[in-house]
Amino acid sequence: MSLSSRRLAKTVAVIGAGPVGLAAAAHLAERGITPIVLEAGPGAGAAIGAWGHVRLFSPWRFDIDSAARRLLEGTGWTEPDADGLPLGSELIERYLEPLAAALAPHVRYGTRVTGVARLGADKTHSLGREGRAYLLRTVDGAGEWSDVVADAVIDASGVWGRANPLGANGLPAAGETADAPWQTGPLPDVLGRDRGRFAGKRALVVGAGHSAANTLLLLAELAETEPGTAVTWAIRGRSAAKVYGGGSADALPARGTIGTRLQGLVESGAVALVTGFTIDAFATAADGSVTVTGTTGGHDLKIEADNVAAATGFRPDLELLRELRLDLDAAVEAPAKLAPLIDPNFHSCGTVPAHGEADLAHPDEGFYIAGVKSYGRAPTFLLATGYEQVRSIAAALAGDREAADRVELDLPETGVCSSSRALDATSIADAGESAGCCGTTADADSGCGTAQPEPVAVGARGLATGVLHGRAGERVELPQLKSGCCG
Q: Pick the residue with more confidence: 445 or 274?
A: 274
Residues of the chain within CATH 3.50.50.60 domain(s) are 3-161+314-405, 168-312+420-477
Higher pLDDT pick, 181 / 447: 181
Give the amino acid at 202.
R
Cβ neighbors of 337 (< 8 A, separation 6 or more) are 327, 355, 358, 359, 360, 361
Give the per-residue pLDDT at 128.
Answer: 87
Sheet holding 112-118, edge to edge: 112-118, 134-139, 145-150
Band of pLDDT at residue 251, cut at 50, 70 and 90: low
| pLDDT per residue as tens digits for the range 128-165 | 898 899 999 999 999 999 999 999 999 999 999 899 99
pLDDT tens, position by position, 363-418 = 999 999 999 999 999 877 889 999 999 999 999 999 999 999 999 877 665 433 33
The identity of residue 266, as a single letter, is V
**Strands of 167-314, DSSP E:** 202-206, 230-234, 272-274, 277-284, 290-296, 299-305, 307-310
Q: Indicate whether 206 pLDDT > 60.
A: yes
Contacts of 146 (CB under 8 A, 6+ apart): 138, 140
Confidence of residue 88 (pLDDT cuts 50, 70, 90): very high
pLDDT of residue 420: 29
Is 3-161+314-405 a domain of CATH 3.50.50.60? yes
CA atoms within 13 A on the CB side of 371: 23
Nearest Cα to Cα of residue 344 among 382, 375, 373: 375
- Stronger pLDDT, 1 or 324, i.e. the higher one: 324
Is the pLDDT at 301 greater than 60, yes or no? yes
* pLDDT tens figures, 406-465: 998 776 654 333 322 222 222 233 322 222 222 222 222 222 222 333 333 344 333 433
Confidence bin at 254 (pLDDT 50/70/90): low
Asked if 117 contacts 135 with a C-beta cutoff of 8 angstroms, the reply is yes
71 to each of 14, 30, 66, 109, 385, how far by Cα in Å? 18, 8, 9, 21, 20
Across the chain, what does the average pLDDT equal? 82
Among 36-45, 80-89, 225-234, 419-428, name the one with the lowest average pLDDT: 419-428
Instruction: Give CA–CA dist 9/413, Å, rounded.
Output: 36
260, amino acid identity: T
Beta bridge partners of 272: 232
Neighbouring CB atoms inside 10 A of 99's CB total 29
Neighbours of 471 (CB within 10 A): 14
State percent of the chain over pLDDT 90.
67
What proportion of the chain, given as a percentage, has pLDDT over 70?
79
Q: How are strands ordered across the β-sheet holding 272-274?
A: 272-274, 230-234, 202-206, 307-310
Residue 56 pLDDT level (bands cut at 50, 70, 90): confident
Task: Tell whether the torsion through CA atoms of 373, 84, 393 and 348 is positive or negative.
Answer: negative
Class of domain 168-312+420-477: alpha beta
